[in-house]
Chain A
Amino acid sequence: MKKRPYVKGLAVIFMLAGLSAPAFSGSEDVNVENAWSRASIGASRPGAAYMIVRNTGEDAVTLTGLTTPLAMMPEIHETKTNADGVSSMTPAGEITIEAGESLALEPGGLHVMLMNLQNPMTEGETFPLTLTFSDGDEVTVDVPILDIAARGPEG
């Protein structure tokens, strides 16, 4: 609950600053906000991307897949840290977002994993990422590529 004003605030800052505000297309009921990713070293390592996926519609939506020209195998993964402090990542499968709820893809939790990069991720550029939902709707967002040491959508 507390996160919402913060997220909205950031969106406003993005617009005021004239930074690349997330671009939407496709479904009217899903908004993607605060998308960001880190630059890569070359193309042999996997990349990660983060964003808030907000379901503003009246019905639940289920995120079933991702596509991007940047990576052959984009997938939602979940990082978990167990009681021993050991972190692991597993594919998260399909994710349902209830009406009015949002899905946070953020460091150390659910994230977009970009496997088999087709080219390096260069700071200052963006790449298109298409989210596909079970009803056939698609949302495409331009994900800004930030510094390799970025901590959030603001850098």
Chain B
Amino acid sequence: MQRRHLLRYGAAGAGALGLMLGVGWWRVDGPGASKPAGQRPLALSAMDFRLTDHEGNEVGPDTLIGRPTMVFFGFTYCPDVCPTTLSDISGWLDDLGDAAAQMNVAFITVDPERDTVEAMAEYVGYFHPAIRGWTGPEDQIARAAEGFRALYERVPTKGGGYTMNHTASVFLFDAEGEHVTMIDYHEPREFAVPKIRRALPEDVAGAT
């Protein structure tokens, strides 16, 4: 991570270098870090992928710009982490009250082979109505994950099946599509909800 900053800022000259390294440290390892710099999600405007939501609409990163956004990667054959996170998100949205209606919430599958549009529709129907399920061709899922710096991996299980390892954090973006912060897996509500409020415009965040 440090080397990346050295390379990037090296051209700015030796004088600026020391200062920039300081800034780099603060963002990368210091108190300002929300994720290591190399893994920070792109702005939504810099991402490029096309998926289909659970109602059959064509969607992409541009769909999310204009309102604050939460994005979570998972899959519907996930017995533990994904229902827990979707229940957590549903609880946060309940806490946010009216403000929840001003947000985009996208659950992007990392298992498009099993998670068809119909499977996503059935699954998200059990959670908060603001949650949209996104699926699509594998190459587009891969491009989405790359933009968010999300990781996923197919793992064979006993008996010939498979499961997916995947980034379990929730990505939070503001209405301009800039990445604000991450909410860790199973982060307590008293930390998660204030984080979400920070991504909301002030007039919306005030409303309950």
Given A41-B122, A86-B151, A87-B185, is A108 in contact with B84 using a C-beta cutoff of 8 Å? yes
Residues of B contacting A: mostly: mixed
Q: Smallest CB-CB separation from B83: which chain A residue? A: A38
Interface residues of A in 81-95 (CB under 8 A from B): 81, 84-89
Q: Indicate whether B52 reaches chain A with its CB closer than 8 angstroms.
A: no
- Taking CB atoms, residues of chain B closer than 8 Å to A145 are none
**In contact, B87 and A81 (Cβ under 8 angstroms):** no
Which residues in A have some Cβ–Cβ distance to B below 8 Å?
Answer: 38, 41, 44-48, 73, 77, 79, 81, 84-89, 107-108, 111, 113-116, 147-151
**In contact, B165 and A107 (Cβ under 8 angstroms):** no
Q: How many residues of B contact A (CB 8 A)?
A: 35
Which residues in B have some Cβ–Cβ distance to A below 8 Å?
Answer: 39, 76-77, 79-81, 83-84, 86-88, 90-91, 122-123, 126-127, 151-153, 155, 157-159, 161, 163, 165-169, 182, 184-186
A86, A114, A151: the one within 8 Å of B79 (CB): A114
Question: In the bound complex, how far is the Cα of B86 from the Cα of A19, in angstroms?
Answer: 26
Q: Smallest CB-CB separation from B90: which chain A residue? A: A149
**In contact, A86 and B167 (Cβ under 8 angstroms):** yes
Interface centre among B79, B83, B90 (most CB of A within 10 A): B79
**In contact, A85 and B79 (Cβ under 8 angstroms):** no
Minimum CB–CB distance for A108 against chain B, Å: 5
- Taking CB atoms, residues of chain A closer than 8 Å to B90 are 149
Question: In the bound complex, how far is the Cα of B78 from the Cα of A89, in angstroms?
Answer: 10
- Taking CB atoms, residues of chain B closer than 8 Å to A149 are 83, 86-87, 90, 126-127
